Amino acid sequence: MKFARSVALKAINGSSSTSIFNSGWAHLRRAQSQRIRAYSALMSPPSKAVVYDREGSPEAVTKVIEIPAVEVKENDVCVKMLAAPINPSDINRIQGVYPVRPQVPAVGGYEGVGEVYSVGSAVTGVAPGDWVIPSPPSFGTWQTYIVKDQSVWHKINKDTPVEYAATITVNPLSAFRMLEDFTTLNSGDSIVQNGSTSIVGQCIIQIARFRGIHSINIIRDRAGSDEAKEKLKKIGADEVFTESQLEVKNVKSLLANVPEPALGFNCVGGNSASLVLKFMRQGGTMVTYGGMSKKPITVSTSSFIFKDLSLKGFWLQKWMGSDKATECRTMIDYLLCLAREGKLKYEMELVPFDDFQVGLSKALGLQGSHPKQVIKF
């Protein structure tokens, strides 16, 4: 399967000649036809996919192509994709700046949801019509049909809104794990975070609220910041400040009855990370999981010596790679249950697969600020 797709991608992306392009595809189609006749193998439908044959600017290197049918072996599941998001990490992989990325030529995308189309003869546990997600996530979700081993797929409740099923793993699971993994939080404790309007930030607010944990939230100064504050408070934020509001000597005087936070989350870096540290209580921990400003974290000497603060990092892909598949799926089911019950909400925008480039442009911020873009196949 990988070989056939690699040949197909190279035939399209590596040729400057139309005749070579056409003959390459003709050869592939003949080969596929011969395989079907010779072995009567179960085949997937042909697939459309967003591919890139080199790393670089996503709007320049991605294209939508057709990929020939592939064999569905006895342990394989063929999935018709329903939806998949365009995450910042997807963009970073295409740009070639993410620590782990597929070998090019590659199909984009890392998480999503699909419906089982067909299964191999030895497959148990899922059947045509079931909804499944790749768990842990895997490369290549931006395509109409995917064939992978049954171990990759996790069956989920079909009553889940498709956009939440497609996006549940990377962002909500990160929020859940970060609230669990770094310190013991009890009802009445508090956390502080920047990047609060992000999906991870919104999930942290809501999951913390379920546990009786207060949240202090920092957002950028920008047009619409008052509206953003109200949206965050509606989903459970206790306090929301713009960065300029925190240009005071004693930020903790702004907390009123909210206790000093034991745990902080940073996905911005630069001055915004310093503001998170200012709120932290003695012996607190700040967890960094992103760096949107592309600026380093600067920590005062007193924060280390007199406040004994700890700085740690979190990377979901590393956590999921440590043999936690079963545990991961249990948590995903819990988060999906919250989404079905309307207890976990975040804003998304569904974009038809045929308009992928429009969705990509919005995800890149080339058309201003937009919600999370989710491809609907």
pLDDT one-digit tens code per residue, 94-125:
999 999 999 999 999 999 999 999 999 999 99
State the average pLDDT over residues 150-174. Answer: 97
- Residue 330 clears pLDDT 80, i.e. is over it: yes
SS3 string of 87-107?
CHHHHHHHHCCCCCCCCCCEE
Q: Which amino acid is at 339?
A: A
Q: Residue 368: its pLDDT value, please? A: 85
pLDDT one-digit tens code per residue, 228-251:
999 999 999 999 999 999 999 899
Query: 281: which 2 tokens?
Result: 């209580």
Active-site choice (98, 145, 289, 334)? 98
DSSP state letters, 177-203: HHHHHSS---TT-EEEES-TTSHHHHH
Query: Whose CA is closest to 160, among 178, 149, 146, 172?
Result: 172
Of the two residues 75 and 327, the one the predictor is more confident about is: 75
- Residue 259 clears pLDDT 80, i.e. is over it: yes
Of the two residues 27 and 157, the one the predictor is more confident about is: 157
Beta strands in the chain, from DSSP E residues, in sequence order: 47-52, 62-67, 76-85, 106-107, 113-119, 131-134, 145-149, 153-156, 190-193, 214-219, 239-242, 263-266, 285-288, 310-313, 348-352, 372-376
Indicate the pairing of strand 153-156 with strand 145-149.
Answer: unpaired
**Where do we find the tokens 């059947």?**
127
Q: Which amino acid is at 164?
A: Y
Q: Residue 138: its pLDDT value, please? A: 92
What CA–CA distance (Å, rounded) separates 43 from 78? 9
State the average pLDDT over residues 69-78. Answer: 98
Cα pseudo-dihedral 51, 53, 55, 56, rounded to 10? -80
pLDDT one-digit tens code per residue, 34-62:
444 434 579 999 999 999 999 999 999 99
CA 331 to chain centre: 15
Cβ-in-10-Å burial (0-12, 13-18, 19+) of 366 comes to exposed
Q: Residue 304: its pLDDT value, please? A: 87
pLDDT one-digit tens code per residue, 287-304:
999 999 999 999 989 888
Q: What is the mean pLDDT of the chain?
A: 90
CA distances from 118 to 55, 125, 141, 338 (A): 33, 13, 17, 29
- Residue 350 clears pLDDT 80, i.e. is over it: yes
Q: Residue 173: its pLDDT value, please? A: 97
Q: Residue 351: its pLDDT value, please? A: 98
- Residue 322 clears pLDDT 70, i.e. is over it: no
- Residue 17 clears pLDDT 60, i.e. is over it: no
Task: Indicate the DSSP class of residue 281.
Answer: P
Is 346 an active-site residue?
no
pLDDT band at 11 (very low <50, low <70, confident <90, very high): very low
